[in-house]
Chains A and B, each alone.
Chain A
Amino acid sequence: MNLPIYMDYHATTPLDPRVLEAMMPYLTSKFGNAASRNHAFGWEAEEAVEKARKQIATLIGANAKEIVITSGATESNNLAIKGVAEMYAERGNHIITAATEHKATLDTCKRLEKHGYRITYLPVLASGLIDMDMLRESITDKTILISIMYANNEIGVIQPVREIGKLAKEKGVLFHTDAVQAVGKVPVNVLEDNIDLLSISGHKLYGPKGVGALYVRRKSPRVQLTAQIDGGGHERGMRSGTLNVPGIVGLGEACELCRKEMATESVRLRTLRDKLRAKLETALDEVYINGTMESRLPHNLNISFAFVEGESLLMGINDVAVSSGSACTSATLEPSYVLKALGAGDDIAHSSIRFGLGRFTTEEEVDYVAQKVISVVQHLRELSPLYEMFKEGVDLSKVQWTAH
């Protein structure tokens, strides 16, 4: 077992060596521009891109023609939301999203708000799930788009995507889903789920960074987008720019590997994740799982160790790469807005750790991490005045704190 241990697969994933192997020729000898229509260099590049497009489409039950290549999911989300907002401006100006979305969605919506669009940010239940009734009631005759993520990047909670898709179709509203954390990990099918637009990122499924895709439905309905990047008219005019051929080949190969290995891999990861959870819960009191375990990615565990601050915990497990919702670990010095949206309280957010397991996680690593976390939590609780008060029976919610 090598240290440090990487257990932050929601942040990014390593490139699978098989993916690198598929990319190598396109980083070296096969360097053609996929848009060069008049020589062999261009043809072989184009052929590789079309193969990849098919690999990406197959993973989500789409057609290759419905895949628009982007630089990543941030761009995909921007293109989907802004592209729909602009294209369908005459039909309406209302967009519905949720409080726990990724910033690439939230900040895109905030910008549209400045341009006169109306955005509904749905709150979530304590489970992390949106309330379907609330979604239904939020739809007006001005609603043009619902953008709700497939699975959350912090708590791994999977939204009722199929129900959302069904409702959107019923109401004649387009449905975009940021499926970055779900695609390649759990079965995703744009037809069965009535998804109109779907964002994918290469580096979250063992492909390269800087490449992603947006699925744009072509039939019933045919979704149109206003391009956000103008130029040579690539990607059927929806996204100009010379194609990143090696990146696209990598994304395609990564999708194919995920498709082939998902069934066994998700079972393996769920078993490891459940083992990690069981070990922590057995050895420690006052641990809380953030978000429901009922509808969740198999490789995610987001857990709060009450009375222990997240950054100090990360400091103690410095040979394990995980992340925390604690303010001290974020650039904004605010605790995780996702955990706050669950209504758990800032203290729980400050005490949270996100474990993200993945393709190269071993059982030995899980055992090591569990042991390490347990011993550091125990050490920090010995230091914690809150744990001492809790043990003395003090109700911490009734204490007059001197907030600063």
Chain B
Amino acid sequence: MAYSDKVLDHYNNPRNVGSMDKNDPNVGTGMVGAPECGDVMKLQVKVNPTTGIIEDAKFKTFGCGSAIASSSLATEMLKGKTVDEALAIKNTEIVNELALPPVKIHCSVLAEDAIKAAITNYKDKTAKEQAAVAQ
């Protein structure tokens, strides 16, 4: 299969690879996919609690080049967005940006799922914390 230049670029120079402390209250972690299916994405966001803006994003991905590129791109898109803006990111934006062929669209869907999972995790954490404070 021929890869687009953008996929190759993200594969060769992945952005924001790494992990953040998942116990940090400001960090949301999402992990989606399964090893048997050939792809697992872990995506993390660090949110500024006062502004609600995503200040940092990190990923690690087990999967094909398009899965790696999709998650790498996702971390770039997340930084600087508010939590709600992040939830509005659609997989089609990733498909278009990376010029993914039809057989690789599931990689972008997985990246969207990872974003949602990370944000949901962050929101759950802050909700719990607020509940704890209120008590």
Contact = CB atoms under 8 A, between A and B. Distances in A.
Contacts of B11: 312, 315-316
Interface in A296-337: 307-309, 311-312, 315-316, 326-328, 333, 335
Given A308-B62, A383-B68, A385-B60, A402 B34 contact: yes
Interface string B63-88: 11101100000000000000000000
A315 B68 CA distance: 11
Nearest to B7: A315
Q: Is the interface of B mostly helix, strand, loop or mixed?
A: mixed
B115 to A, nearest CB: 14
Interface stretch (A144-152, A215-223, A343-351): A343-351
A386 B33 contact: no
B108 interface: no
B42 interface: yes
B110 interface: yes
A295 interface: no
B54 interface: no
Given A309-B64, A315-B11, A382-B17, A350 B31 contact: no
A403 B37 contact: yes
Contacts of B63: 309, 312
Contacts of B34: 401-404
Q: Which of A316, A326, A403 has the most CB of B within 10 A?
A: A403
Contact of A346 (B14, B36, B117): B36
A163 interface: no
Contacts of B67: 309, 312
A388 interface: yes
A178 to B, nearest CB: 29
B75 to A, nearest CB: 12
Contacts of A312: 11, 63-65, 67-68
Nearest to A403: B34
Contacts of A307: 62
A370 B117 CA distance: 38
Contact of A309 (B8, B32, B38, B103): B38
Nearest to B8: A315
Interface of A: 307-309, 311-312, 315-316, 326-328, 333, 335, 345-347, 350, 382-388, 396, 401-404
Q: What 10 pairs between A and B have smallest CB-CB spacing?
A: A401-B34, A347-B35, A385-B42, A346-B36, A385-B60, A311-B64, A350-B38, A328-B64, A315-B65, A403-B34
14 contacts: A308-B62, A309-B62, A312-B11, A315-B65, A328-B38, A346-B37, A383-B62, A383-B68, A384-B61, A385-B42, A396-B35, A402-B31, A402-B32, A404-B106
Given A385-B61, A403-B34, 7 more contacts: A309-B64, A309-B67, A311-B64, A350-B35, A386-B62, A387-B62, A388-B19
